[in-house]
A and B are shown apart, each in its own frame.
Chain A
């Protein structure tokens, strides 16, 4: 592989790794806060237990999110110095705001995790709300920066020199609204489904703590289901935005190879050279109809640009199909769940559907959100190729002159594999295992570090200050 390819793969791997923890960092605080709020309103000890257990998981995920994010903020320069040299001053604004959001998030997460007994219950809940809000904001900011790479704005190029920089216009570029909305929904849908899957698994296996897992399942579903139902609509909004700003990316996504009325292509393998599909099912005119309300409307195909300006169509098309497939399944399950939820509420008063069929479906759907997430980013990033800044800078021109990139690539691959194994091992050992079998409710105490009993004589004294 060439250095460029190693750089791209390293970037893709780092982001694919970070995004998982980032998404959990957006979704989990919401679950945690809902549980704690239910504890404060109902005084149901199960809810407190739930909030604490979820907080423990969040702490582990957050730490890995923080360190992998730190790697990214250096990697942008380590791998793409030319890109950053030109883009830094233009899109630094959302990154700076993101930095501030991290700060807020890290501060209040520290408070949330360690100060259960040190501050009032309301202050504690408020700290959780701040974590949830700043997590969602940091995600939104960084996606604005990414959207700018898809829809560059806020600068002019005169004789090869960048002038008229307008960071605000750059931040609020044309791709930002659809990407931010879609990403935020994805975070809630993916986390909600994954957490629901864990607790559905516990219920299916049979557990002495049914009430605990039912409560958890209910909260997780109440976050995941609505997001998954809205997600296809938001995806449609995204697709329209792509059609406007990056028609060739859209062509690659849909596997629309030749300019003309666009069919909806399901499955198959597009051949980039012959511009033919093998083994696909086509619904003629469907994409033209979706985009323009006319099955005969002409849509640009991959052949509209020279071969060196085309993204790798097969990957983009496949990834897009995976995302849409997962999204459709998740939305269908959500509608089914919501309908049954309402029915049961009317007939037997117990809202949450918990028969084995439903639980099994929830268990099977658990990874779908994260699969769709990774697939969606592949669509966005690979679909932008060969550009790093759409229409302005090619990825090949942005890469570092440093040779031998195979070394850092190998190093980080090993590091991430190690981290991934460690996280799975820990979550399994600490949370799932104890949650599914042993450990009676009420045993999760204070977070491990803070002193459980204040040193005698000291606290009383300084209280006077």
Chain B
């Protein structure tokens, strides 16, 4: 972060809430996408068992998990309408692709679940579900990466006229190596989360072993890709690289992320699955907050801050008020949901 003079204001609180909500989406909804990826790559004698473990883990909760994304969008257009309008104009193309992915993923999964006859049709739903689960996170990551690298600055109306269609709507995201690196990172992160969670939720020991191996492999891939992303940032956007790597807080973020990664590796190696699950979630969260911190106080780098794009004070106050009331209702509901369906997760004693 830079050291310009700065006071914490209401818009910052809302922006923080949005990152929190995105955090929940990554940690919960991201794993649902990752599940679809593992469905695609399910191989060998335990293939069907892997698939049913995945479906069982996703089934009751994906719709609730998905609402976190909607919450981010609603907060964005309520509290930062100009940013919402700008992003959805400049990123029209990738957002549309992402939407198609979201639609296909959700509906194909449900259709497969309720299409009780085991035949070709059902397998086709499964294929759509898993391919959509693979592509959507990449595009989501590309969008975030484009924003983070300042690829779509707000421009004066006069400057817009000079741009061709490709200059404005395609090039900023399609040709930025950084954006695609973030896209891949997102995919691997989601797959890693899913594999880590599935070690807890697998139905049998062989399947659990498979997911343990997958988690270890993706963790390796994740660390490699993270390094690669930094290198790309360094070449493509030195300013971003400086943000990512200098200052006590940025380095602190890297430190806790690395610590979570180490914990995850240790837990997977020693088969401490509950630890592995928590460490994976922590690692994903720290990566996200690391990005948020780098970007702070800019909402649309390089030229618009969080405060400059905020809606009137009263809109922010009411929204936060509604969220506060909502939290009182929703938090216990969420705990209830997860307690009903994720209880079996407590397999820890058995494994020791």
- Describe A's contact surface by its main secondary structure: helix
Cα separation A59 to B59 with both chains bound (whole Å): 11
What distance in Å separates the Cβ of A428 from its nearest Cβ neighbour in chain B?
11
A66 near B63: Cβ-Cβ < 8 Å: yes
Cα separation A69 to B79 with both chains bound (whole Å): 20
Contact segment of A218-226, A256-264, A448-456: A448-456
What distance in Å separates the Cβ of B194 from its nearest Cβ neighbour in chain A?
16
Tell me if A402 is interfacial: C-beta within 8 Å of chain B.
yes
Cα separation A458 to B325 with both chains bound (whole Å): 37
What distance in Å separates the Cβ of B97 from its nearest Cβ neighbour in chain A?
9
A89 near B311: Cβ-Cβ < 8 Å: yes
Q: Which of A59, A88, A118 contacts B78 (CB 8 A)?
A: A88
Contact with A along B314-352 (1 / 0, CB 8 A): 110011001101100110011011001101101101100
Question: A84-B77, A449-B56 are contacts. A408–B96 as well, Cβ < 8 Å?
Answer: yes
**Residues of B in contact, count (CB < 8 Å):** 73
Contact with B along A406-432 (1 / 0, CB 8 A): 001001000100010010001001100
Cα separation A98 to B341 with both chains bound (whole Å): 25
Q: Which of A63, A400, A415 contacts B89 (CB 8 A)?
A: A400
Residues from chain A with Cβ under 8 Å of B71 in the complex:
99, 103
Contact with A along B65-108 (1 / 0, CB 8 A): 01101110111011111101111110010011001101110110
A110 near B79: Cβ-Cβ < 8 Å: no
A402 near B92: Cβ-Cβ < 8 Å: yes
B96 near A461: Cβ-Cβ < 8 Å: no
Q: Which of A68, A70, A167, A422 contacts B69 (CB 8 A)?
A: A70
Cα separation A89 to B319 with both chains bound (whole Å): 10
A77 near B87: Cβ-Cβ < 8 Å: yes
Question: A88-B77, A96-B75, A404-B165 are contacts. A63–B333 as well, Cβ < 8 Å?
Answer: no
A59 near B329: Cβ-Cβ < 8 Å: no
Tell me if A314 is interfacial: C-beta within 8 Å of chain B.
no
A70 near B110: Cβ-Cβ < 8 Å: no
Contact segment of B113-121, B213-221, B249-257, B300-308: B113-121
B78 near A449: Cβ-Cβ < 8 Å: no
What distance in Å separates the Cβ of A161 from its nearest Cβ neighbour in chain B?
11
Cα separation A108 to B329 with both chains bound (whole Å): 12
Tell me if B241 is interfacial: C-beta within 8 Å of chain A.
no
Tell me if B16 is interfacial: C-beta within 8 Å of chain A.
no
Report which residue of A92, A102, A403, A415 has the largest number of chain B beta carbons within 10 angstroms of its beta carbon: A92
What distance in Å separates the Cβ of B57 from its nearest Cβ neighbour in chain A?
9
Residues from chain A with Cβ under 8 Å of B349 in the complex:
461
Cα separation A97 to B74 with both chains bound (whole Å): 10
Q: Which of B69, B110, B323, B330 contacts A96 (CB 8 A)?
A: B323
B99 near A89: Cβ-Cβ < 8 Å: no
B156-182 with Cβ < 8 A to chain A = 160, 165, 169
- By a beta-carbon cutoff of 8 Å, the part of chain A in contact with chain B is 56, 59-60, 62-64, 66-71, 73-78, 81-82, 84-90, 92-93, 95-100, 102-104, 106-111, 113-115, 118-119, 165-168, 400-404, 408, 411, 415, 419, 422, 426, 429-430, 447-451, 454-455, 457-459, 461-462, 465
A-B contact pairs, 15 of them (CB 8 A): A60-B114, A67-B107, A70-B99, A74-B99, A78-B95, A81-B88, A84-B84, A85-B85, A89-B81, A96-B74, A99-B74, A103-B64, A430-B115, A455-B203, A462-B347
- By a beta-carbon cutoff of 8 Å, the part of chain B in contact with chain A is 55-56, 59-61, 63-64, 66-67, 69-71, 73-75, 77-82, 84-89, 92, 95-96, 99-100, 102-104, 106-107, 109-111, 113-117, 160, 165, 169, 203, 311-312, 314-315, 318-319, 322-323, 325-326, 329-330, 333-334, 336-337, 340-341, 343-344, 346-347, 349-350
